[in-house]
Structure formats: structure tokens, C-alpha cells
Amino acid sequence: MQRIIPAILTANPEELRENMEILKGHTKWLHIDIMDGKFVPNTSANLFELGEAAQFFHLEIHLMVEHPEKYLEDCSGIGAKRVIFHAEAVDSPEVVLQKMEEYGFQKEIAVNPPTPALKLASYIEKLDALLVMGVNPGFQQQEFIPDVLSKVSEIRRLKQDVLIGIDGGINEQTVKQAFGAGVDYACAGSAVMKTSDPVAALKHLEEMIS
Ligand code: DX5
Ligand code: ZN
């Protein structure tokens, strides 16, 4: 399992392409942030702008959107491996999970900092992974909220073998704390992509937790 997954959040298709070019051959998994300007106050590039990215990466698509079910066909079209939607964005997670099952995605639900992990208790058997947000979603370079880490052991108690990720605010200062709390993987946006050498920054974070 890859432990640090680089995250790209941009509304600029050119920047998206450039970032992917930099990461080619240096990461198996790639986390792509998709936003609709409604669930979060920010927007992103469209899924189709990922083009042939799935030939080079295992794509994990983080849908920070209302009505995530409407995006699943496009996720399938671009060859996504894992799709993440927010517990806060839907009334019936089961319906979305069932559709995801039909497309054959790995199924993951994200929880925002104020959302208790126990909100997911009744769906956890259907999930491959769970994403604990370390910041309120929508933007990179925000400060990590350490209180969210108590959710990791709560989730682990609910399901021993579920993959637990953390997303938002992960950098040199916070990465050890997150893995110390028991996450399996961490997404890192600005700590990788907003540096002069993203590949070296990614390797450095990986080394810090090895
Ligand atoms: C936050 C996004 C994150 C973001 C991480 O809304 O879901 O994936 O790209 O960026 P950093 O690591 O800078 O917080
Ligand atoms: Zn994300």
C-alpha cells in the first residue's frame, strides 16, 4: 500500500497537466480533488480533463460535490480506481455505494472535521476505505486540525481491516502524528505540489514515515 498519495487541486487544466507530468513514474496512486462550488466554496477542473491519466496512475477521485452519484459515469469514463464522496453530501449513502459497486470502484467515504466517525457505523461493512478530513475541505495549505485523529481509532474499532486515509494539512510537521494515530495512508497536496521539487518532497514525506 502506498502511504503518501499526492493530491492535485486546481481549476486550471494546464496546471493539472503539468502536475501530472511531474509525477509520472514517481507515484502509483494520484488523488484528484473535484469541486462543484456548492458543497465547497471552490471549483476545480473537470473530470474529462484528466484525459489518459489512468494509463499512468491509479486514480483516486475525491468528490467534494453535491449529488456525487451524477459524477460516477464520468469517473468510470476516465478509468478511476477509487472514488470518494462525502458523508455530509448525501441523504442515503447506500444508494451511492450501490452505484459505485456496479461501476467496480473501490468505495470510500470522507468525513469532514465536525462529522463524528460514528455517523458511518451502519455503512462501514460496505466500504473499502474511509477518509478522515484533516481540514474543512475546499482549499490546500490549510492548517491541520489534530482533534480529527481521535476518529482513527474509533473507525478501527468499527472495522479492523478498513483502509483509513487522512486528507488535508499533511506536511513535515503533521505526517508522523497522523501515522502515529494509525492511518494507513495520507494525501498530501501543497506539501508536495507547491514546492520547487515535488518528487523530492514526496520522497521526503515517505522517508519520514518509513
Ligand atoms: C482539501 C482537499 C485536499 C487538498 C490537500 O479540500 O480535499 O485533498 O488537496 O491539500 P493540502 O495537503 O495542502 O492540505
Ligand atoms: Zn482531497
Q: How far is the CA of 138 from the centre of ligand 2 (A)?
A: 8
148-157 pLDDT, tens digit per residue, is: 999 999 999 9
> Domain ranges in the chain?
3-209
**Ion ligand 2: protein residues whose beta carbon lies under 5 Å:** 33, 62, 167
CA dihedral 39, 141, 15, 188 (to 10 degrees): -90
Alpha-carbon distance of 200 to 40, in angstroms, equals: 31
Q: Which residue has its alpha carbon closest to ligand 1 atom 3?
A: 168
Q: How far is the CA of 137 from the centre of ligand 1 (A)?
A: 7
Atom number in ligand 1 closest to CA 62: 7
Is the Cβ–Cβ distance between 137 and 112 less than 8 Å? yes
What's the average model confidence in pLDDT over 3-11? 98
**pLDDT band at residue 1 using 50, 70 and 90 as cut-offs:** confident
With a cut of 90, say whether residue 9 has pLDDT above it: yes
Which ligand number lies closest to the CA of residue 62? 2
185-202 pLDDT, tens digit per residue, is: 999 999 999 999 999 999
What are the grid coordinates assigned to 80, written together? 478511476
Q: pTM, whole model, 2 decimals?
A: 0.98
Q: Give the pLDDT of residue 191.
A: 98
Ligand 1 interacting residues, C-beta cut-off 6 A: 7, 9, 31, 33, 62, 135, 137-142, 167-170, 187-191
Domain 3-209 grouped into CATH 3.40.190.10? no
Active site residue 167: yes
What does the DSSP 8-state code read for residue 60? Answer: E
Query: In the structure, how many helices (H) and strands (E) does the chain have?
Result: 7, 8
Atom number in ligand 1 closest to CA 170: 12
